[in-house]
Amino acid sequence: MNALIQELDDRMDRDCRRLSAWRVVHRTTGLFYTVVLIFVPAVLAVGFTSSETPLGKVLLLMAAVVGGLNVTFRPYLHSLNRRSAVNTMRRLRDEYRADVAAAVEGELLAVYRKYAASYATIFEERGGELIDGRLSVEEPPPDPPAKPQP
């Protein structure tokens, strides 16, 4: 039983570390893209260099490439869901560890089953979001069903 408990705890811990690392990568990349998209047009507009010079052509090409990458990967770079997934996993892991510490030997299996199912559900939802890669705003909630007229 202790091996199961430790294995789930290790999986959650690994997942939390990976999420934190990817969160840093996404924020850093998004910040770099934003700075390039602000800086390049400003340099060309002020006249520090002309778009006819080799430097100007490189800056224009860089702005075009970074602009395309920014639009393509925006759901991953600026997603609130990805940012909140880190906190969700940390909270789930803390709750799991507290319940394991409070459980007596007979209840450990029930705690393991409950949190293994919760973790699997959260992991599957995150994977679905990653595959979908929504480029639009979140979908509005469905309209409530109409009440029948008497």
Question: In terms of Cα–Cα distance, which of 121, 111, 119 is closest to 4?
Answer: 111
Structure tokens that stand for 73 in this block: 């990967």
Write down the pLDDT at residue 137. 45
Q: Rounded CA gap, 97 and 75, in Å?
A: 32
Question: In terms of Cα–Cα distance, which of 22, 110, 112, 26 is closest to 69?
Answer: 26
Structure tokens that stand for 149 in this block: 């007229």
Query: Where do we find the tokens 């340099």?
Result: 43
Write down the pLDDT at residue 134. 45
Write down the pLDDT at residue 31. 84
Write down the pLDDT at residue 133. 45
Domain boundaries, the chain: 2-132
Question: In terms of Cα–Cα distance, which of 86, 36, 90 is closest to 65?
Answer: 36
Provide the whole-model pTM: 0.56
Per-position pLDDT tens, the chain of length 150:
777 778 888 888 888 888 778 778 878 888 888 888 888 888 888 888 887 888 888 888 989 998 888 877 776 666 666 667 777 888 888 888 888 888 877 788 788 888 888 888 887 777 666 544 444 445 555 566 666 666
Query: Where do we find the tokens 């929504």?
Result: 134
Contact 93, 12 (CB under 8 A): yes
Write down the pLDDT at residue 132. 46
Write down the pLDDT at residue 142. 59
Q: Rounded CA gap, 63 and 76, in Å?
A: 20
